[in-house]
Amino acid sequence: MKKERNQNIYEKVFILKKKFNTVVYSLLVIFVLAVFAIIPKIHLNGKEVTEIIYTNNYKEAGVKASFLGKDITRNIKIKSNVKNKKIGTYEVVYYLDDFFIPISKKRTVKIIDKEKPELSLKGEKKVFLCPGREYQEDGFSATDGYDGDITKNVKTIKEKDRIIYIVKDSSNNEKRAIREIIYKDKEKPSIQFNGLNEINIALGTSFQDPGYSASDNCDGDITKSVKISGNVDTNKEGTYTLTYKVTDLMGNSTEINRKINIYKNITPNPGVQKPGVVYLTFDDGPKEGTTNIILDILKEENVKATFFVTNKGPDELIKRAAEEGHTVGLHTASHDYANLYSSTEAYFNDLYAVESRVKRVTGFDSKIIRFPGGSSNTVSRRYSKGIMSFLTNEVLRRGYRYYDWNISSGDAGETTDPNMVYQNVISRLSHERPNIVLMHDIKTYTRDALKNIIKYGKENGYTFEAITTDTEMVTQRVNN
Ligand code: ZN
């Protein structure tokens, strides 16, 4: 019995102890829950991990904090190591340091570069190379918004018919470019003439080809491959064409022509020689301000003269000159040596242009001409060899008569003084021959010298006439 009682007490104690433990544990749980419930809470605004492109600045999104339902956001302190514009991974820590245990929350900030670098190729992106030739790099450059110049990081991969250029920036953003290499000779060869491409030679003399050379971008000097077709018969007048043709190894070919004019020296109709007559000639006009005054003086003095006109100036002055009995001659439309002496065709086109102007304005077909620079000019040699030799004959064949001069007034550059113009003219006048006086009606000093020249002439037994197609040609020695 006693043993039974003992056992009952023991069981009771055990049960009591168990109850006690349960109470303690429950209290502990309640305590922990209570503590947890009253710990301040920090909530991040925005993301926990934020990515920012390096060109932008990190903007603090902030947090919200509460403690026992009360807003304590103001108590939160922030610690950040974010460096704007600098790529990296940073941390922003939000914490409370006045609570009895440390409370904090972190945010990760990544400053990143997602942009590909720029990669540009110098030279052509599609390169044509002569077969067997190696490509010489034309260069390239690479820049990155973050890293700056990264040209030295460019890697090239050479393949059979292309080059691949690759560059990566420090964030591993990659950019590629490709240069295509095509092995093909696309360029035509070229032929260069020694001398000019139009040659004028007198009938019965001999023609010697002044030579030529040919070259090709791939084949080099291919002068030996030039083939010439056509022929020149120097014993027969006319224009001959020689064709020079060359073909490179790829089959590209080029041909150019050389014109050979074989001309016969023509003896012009001698015309009438009038010693002691003064033919005043005015070139390069008409021009308002000078030509009109010159016409006034000539009218006043009842003197007839000759105007070698261009396509400049007003029509009305040409019309007036013709109406007042002067001769309107042709000087070419442009007076541009480089153009009109570049070929015989160019010369005649220029001459015909002024001829049609004069015809339109005056109604007359003028056949009296003066070569710009005169027939003895050497400037034309620069543009076409022998052109004056050819033209001085050809104009006669085409029904023109050309007049140079035997007295220069010096108004084309020698002097700008009316007294000198006067002296130059009167000192060279002769009763033994016709006097063809070169003057320019576009010059004020010539205009101003004119009255005295006429006065001197009249006082010294000279007469003044305009050139007609009957007038004997006064020509100089041809030098080209
Ligand atoms: Zn002139």
Question: What's the 340 CA to ligand 1 centre distance in angstroms?
Answer: 12
Question: What's the 412 CA to ligand 1 centre distance in angstroms?
Answer: 8
> What is residue 252's three-state secondary structure?
coil
Residue among 326, 331, 335, 440 flagged as catalytic: 440
Q: What was the pLDDT predicted at 2?
A: 58
Active site residue 440: yes
Q: What was the pLDDT predicted at 4?
A: 66
20: Cβ contacts below 8 Å, ≥ 6 apart: none
CB within 5 A of ion ligand 1: which residues? 283-284, 372
Question: What's the 373 CA to ligand 1 centre distance in angstroms?
Answer: 6
All structural domains of the chain: 41-112 (2.60.40.10), 118-183 (2.60.40.10), 190-263 (2.60.40.10), 277-464 (3.20.20.370)
Residue 402 CA to residue 368 CA, distance in Å, equals 6
Per-residue pLDDT tens over the stretch 328-339: 999 999 999 999
Question: To which residue do tokens 């220029």 refer?
Answer: 350
Q: Is 397 exposed, middle or buried (0-12, 13-18, 19+ CB in 10 A)?
A: exposed
Residue among 283, 284, 350, 404 flagged as catalytic: 283
Interaxial angle between packed helices 444-459 and 291-301, expressed in degrees from 0 to 180 and rounded to the nearest 10: 10
Helix or strand holding residue 181 (H, E): strand 174-183
Interaxial angle between packed helices 315-323 and 291-301, expressed in degrees from 0 to 180 and rounded to the nearest 10: 10
Per-residue pLDDT tens over the stretch 364-375: 999 999 999 999
Question: What's the 310 CA to ligand 1 centre distance in angstroms?
Answer: 9
Question: What's the 63 CA to ligand 1 centre distance in angstroms?
Answer: 93
Residue 238 CA to residue 202 CA, distance in Å, equals 10
Cβ(420)–Cβ(427) under 8 Å?
Answer: no
Question: What's the 376 CA to ligand 1 centre distance in angstroms?
Answer: 13
Question: What's the 439 CA to ligand 1 centre distance in angstroms?
Answer: 9
Residue 200 CA to residue 202 CA, distance in Å, equals 7
Active site residue 185: no
Question: What's the 335 CA to ligand 1 centre distance in angstroms?
Answer: 7
Query: Digits of tens for pLDDT over the chain (480 positions)?
Result: 556 667 778 788 788 888 888 888 888 888 878 777 778 889 999 999 999 999 999 999 999 998 888 899 999 999 999 999 999 999 999 999 887 888 899 999 999 999 999 999 999 999 999 988 889 999 999 999 999 999 999 999 999 899 999 999 999 999 999 999 999 888 999 999 987 788 888 899 999 998 999 999 999 999 999 999 999 999 999 999 999 999 999 999 999 999 999 988 888 889 999 999 999 999 999 999 999 999 999 999 999 999 999 999 999 999 999 999 999 999 999 999 999 999 989 999 999 999 999 999 999 999 999 999 999 999 999 998 889 999 999 999 899 999 999 999 999 999 999 999 999 999 999 999 999 999 999 999 999 999 999 999 999 999 999 999 999 999 999 999
